[in-house]
A and B are shown apart, each in its own frame.
Chain A
Amino acid sequence: MFRSPKICWLAACLLALAGCAPPEAVREFTAVAKDAAIEFPPLVKDLAESCIRRQLASRPVGEIADVDEQAGAACKSLSDLEPQLLATLRVLTNYLNALNELASDEIVTYDKQIDSLASNMQSVGAFQVSQVKAAGGLAKFLADAATSGYQRKKLAEALKAADVHIGVLCDGLGKIIREDYTRVLENEENALRSRYRDAIQADPAKNSAVALVLQEYWRRDLQILNQKRAAARDFEEILVKIRDGHKVLAAQASHWNTSEVIRTIAPYTGSIQSLIGDYRKAF
């Protein structure tokens, strides 16, 4: 088939390159991780919103006044941080997005371009159908092999270079959610509980119907807070899975073996999908 040794060598190299399967594991993991990370902003915004709800819950029971501005001003220390927090989150989302695009099949597949070459060649009428097919097939093979090698090299570089930083970022954001957001919610719960107790005590007739209605409202508010706490735990767990899944990919970056990597990364991808389903119940 190939008479020249140089052509044989070139064909062998290209076959070796093309034999490596595409970085499917990176694509699947980053697709799920970026979709999860996109859902985080409402929870981040709830840090300042919880503080505002607490401010409103701390107002006298019988007060009828517009105190939104006052409540907002009292929560400035948290609301001022919101843009920076959201920007930090966006850095993670943008990174996962870029990695996902870089791992995309589309940017290293030339089917459409080469098919158009083949149809152009055919329309000119100078070639036989078999020649057109052969030329198209060879061109696709060469282009795919050359660019998929570049794609894998760049993916490996990005995964290795970013791994430590992704770990630090996920841990930092996780700490803010696990400790700080949870504390702010507990503060809100405390203010709400006091408000309901005050309202019951403020009823001079000790009407049990009023007490029942207030109890019902308290339970409803508590349920919302508990859902948010559960969402915060899911959020933190997703960040842990992103960190650990990224570590697995970075560790395999020098020796892609698709079936093995996909098998290793699948539990992380599955966990993120399941956690984001639970997280959506609150946000």
Chain B
Amino acid sequence: MPELTEDQARALADEFLKASEAVSDYRFQSGESLSNDDVLALKSLQYKLANQSDDFTGVAIKLTLQDLQQTVAQIVKITGQAREAIATLNDVRRAVSIAANLVALGEAIAAGNPAGILAAVQNTKSSLSG
């Protein structure tokens, strides 16, 4: 059997749903003219047609998702590139922070300020580890 397209699967799902609804309506419109066996047979038919509708819906969704695979792969790739750009910008932030603290350390050493040196060393250490 040739494979279905997603449109064909959706059309079949629609038709099986309509058939299931039609069987249900027929069963209730016919009322007491139906025997118990007829009612049971129609109930079973309605249930099977409804199941087939959901099964074809499953096939349609599966085919749509298969069609989207390439698209999804491209978006994942672009998301990765955006994340790399974010990482680069965060690296720049960190570099600015380290440089800022190194400058302060240099100035503290040049000024011969022991308290300033201590604070600047601490700040530089935290920015390097952060």
Contact = CB atoms under 8 A, between A and B. Distances in A.
Interface string B47-72: 10011011101111110110110011
Contact of A176 (B64, B75, B76): B64
B60 A180 contact: yes
Q: Is the interface of B mostly helix, strand, loop or mixed?
A: helix
Of A110, A154, A190, A191, chain B has the most CB atoms within 10 Å of the CB of: A190
Contacts of B100: 113-114, 116-117, 120, 139
B5 interface: no
B74 interface: yes
A169 B54 contact: no
Interface in A67-88: 74-75, 77-78, 80-81, 84-85, 88
B82 A99 contact: yes
Counting contact residues on chain B (CB < 8 A from A), the size range is: 35 or more
B86 A102 contact: yes
A41 to B, nearest CB: 15
Interface string B80-114: 01110110111011001100110110011011010
A98 interface: yes
Contacts of B8: none
Given A75-B54, A102-B82, A124-B107, A85 B61 contact: yes
Contact of B55 (A77, A146, A179, A191): A77
Interface in A101-142: 101-102, 107-108, 110, 113-114, 116-117, 120-121, 123-127, 139
A161 B68 contact: no
A58 B50 contact: yes
B93 A107 contact: yes
Interface of A: 47, 51, 54, 58, 74-75, 77-78, 80-81, 84-85, 88, 91-92, 94-95, 98-99, 101-102, 107-108, 110, 113-114, 116-117, 120-121, 123-127, 139, 143, 146-147, 150-151, 154, 157-158, 161-162, 165-166, 168-169, 172, 175-176, 179-180, 183-184, 186-187, 190-191, 193-194, 197, 201
Interface of B: 10, 13-14, 17, 20-21, 24, 27-28, 43, 46-47, 50-51, 53-55, 57-62, 64-65, 67-68, 71-72, 74-76, 78-79, 81-83, 85-86, 88-90, 92-93, 96-97, 100-101, 103-104, 107-108, 110-111, 113, 115-116, 119-120, 123
